[in-house]
Amino acid sequence: MSKRLYPRILLAAALLATSAHAASPFLKPGDEVVDHVRTRFYDAKRGEAWATKHQGYGAAATSADDFAWRTQAALSELNASHTAFYPRGTTGHADLSAIFQRHLKLPKVEVPSIGADIQETPQGFFARHVFAHGPAAKAGLLRGDRLLSVEGKSFTSVASLTQRVNKPTRFTIERTLGAEPTVLTITPRLVNPKAEWLDAQHASTRVIDHQGRRVAYQQLYSCAGPEHQQKLQDALSDDFAQADAVVIDFRDGWGGCNPTFLNLFDRAVPRFVGIGRDGRRNPWSATWRKPVVLLVNGNSRSGKEIVAFTMKRLGLATLVGQHTAGAVLAGTPLRLSTGDLLYLAVEAVEVEGVLLEGVGVPVDVEVPDTLPYASGKDPQLDKALDVAATAAPSP
């Protein structure tokens, strides 16, 4: 080969590689991720080092799924909570869009739902929370049921059910390992996730007669937004007024509790007694003073952990379940040009001088979870009710 021709071949190859690199449809969103981490990540030094290492990473992606995988794998190197990639069409993207709808300036957020939180495990997809009065609950889906298929096709996610909205749909489930599968007919619906969580919170509100005591219960799947706190406050002063103790379910879902959540249990607020002309005394308290049990697990995160840590520290609640996530950074959603969302930790958070990130909150009463094939049973909730009933004052 001519000595003059060889450098030209190398130059042509380099130009071709540069052209292919620039033509990649994933180069731009990848660079957007890198730029956000460099300029917004809460730890500037780590953010800069990460950005330098991953500059241009998107060009190597061969598909949207591959780009999502590469992005999430790279972000995991930051070892920070509130830092993840949520492509359009995923449950996480829909949830964040609903929580931050105003911040993201979205006119409407609606996604398919069957009224259940589904967890993917190495064993398959299992119903983790079946929201009271939702389509799945009405069809008979139970906590711990494994979802095998939808209309004969393998189940992948609820987000993929767009074409089945408002149509009775056959879900094949396995309730007991190795047993004959069962078919349930569930009709998916379009919902705003935040609105569904609020409805589920309201529908979960109940007072349970347990061990001779009246124990109140409410599930807060999400605590993001003042509406959730207000709904609990309404229940504490109304539905739960005659209860002896309360169990608040903080398991799974999203955090977001505002520190003012603690005001609902502030014992420094004076009690009042109204005295009628007949001499009858009517005691009333603006805050809850009876026993509180917080039900938490390894997915209780963020603002829920701040509440759990503080209430435990002040002796306002007993924690039952499992050690919390240790995910206590402040995060913000950043929309890419593709419409995908980058959730990024932008600030560290101290609680009374303590950093809970990577540490979490230990429980007072440890109860392991047994989700797969639970047949509707919930030993963590059962134990929380036991603890609440025992803590309740004698009649």
Instruction: For residue 130, give the nearest of 81, 94, 171, 84 by alpha carbon.
Output: 171
Task: Report how far residue 70's alpha carbon sits from residue 293's, in angstroms, rounded to the nearest whole number.
Answer: 41
In the Cβ-directed half-sphere of 336, how many Cα atoms lie within 13 Å?
28
Q: Which helix (H) or strand (E) holds 28?
A: helix 27-40
Beta-carbon neighbour count of residue 324 at 10 Å? 30
List the structure tokens of 315.
Answer: 């002796």
pTM for the whole structure: 0.90
Are the C-beta atoms of residues 117 and 125 closer than 8 Å to each other? no
Residues in Cβ contact with 269 at an 8 Å cutoff, skipping those fewer than 6 apart:
285, 286, 287
User: Which own/partner contact pairs does 233-239 have at CB distance under 8 Å and 24+ positions apart?
Assistant: 233/264, 235/205, 236/264, 236/288, 239/205, 239/206, 239/207
Are the C-beta atoms of residues 248 and 229 closer than 8 Å to each other? no
Residue 275, pLDDT score: 85
Residue 17, pLDDT score: 43
Residue 3, pLDDT score: 52
Coil, strand, or helix at residue 123?
Answer: coil
Residue 392, pLDDT score: 87
Burial of 91: CB neighbours in 10 Å, binned 0-12, 13-18, 19+: middle
pLDDT < 50 regions, the chain: 6-7, 9-20
Residue 18, pLDDT score: 46
Residue pLDDT, tens place only, 4-48: 554 454 444 444 444 445 568 999 999 999 999 999 999 999 999
Burial of 9: CB neighbours in 10 Å, binned 0-12, 13-18, 19+: exposed
Instruction: For residue 342, give the nearest of 7, 100, 2, 149 by alpha carbon.
Output: 100
Task: Report how far residue 16's alpha carbon sits from residue 31's, in angstroms, rounded to the nearest whole number.
Answer: 20
Q: What Cα–Cα distance (Å) separates residue 359 from each residue in 217, 309, 346, 355?
A: 28, 11, 18, 8
Rg (CA), the chain: 25
Residues in Cβ contact with 215 at an 8 Å cutoff, skipping those fewer than 6 apart:
207, 208, 209, 243, 244, 245, 246, 247, 385, 388, 389, 392
Task: Report how far residue 112's alpha carbon sits from residue 94's, in angstroms, rounded to the nearest whole number.
Answer: 10
Are the C-beta atoms of residues 350 and 385 closer than 8 Å to each other? no
Burial of 199: CB neighbours in 10 Å, binned 0-12, 13-18, 19+: middle
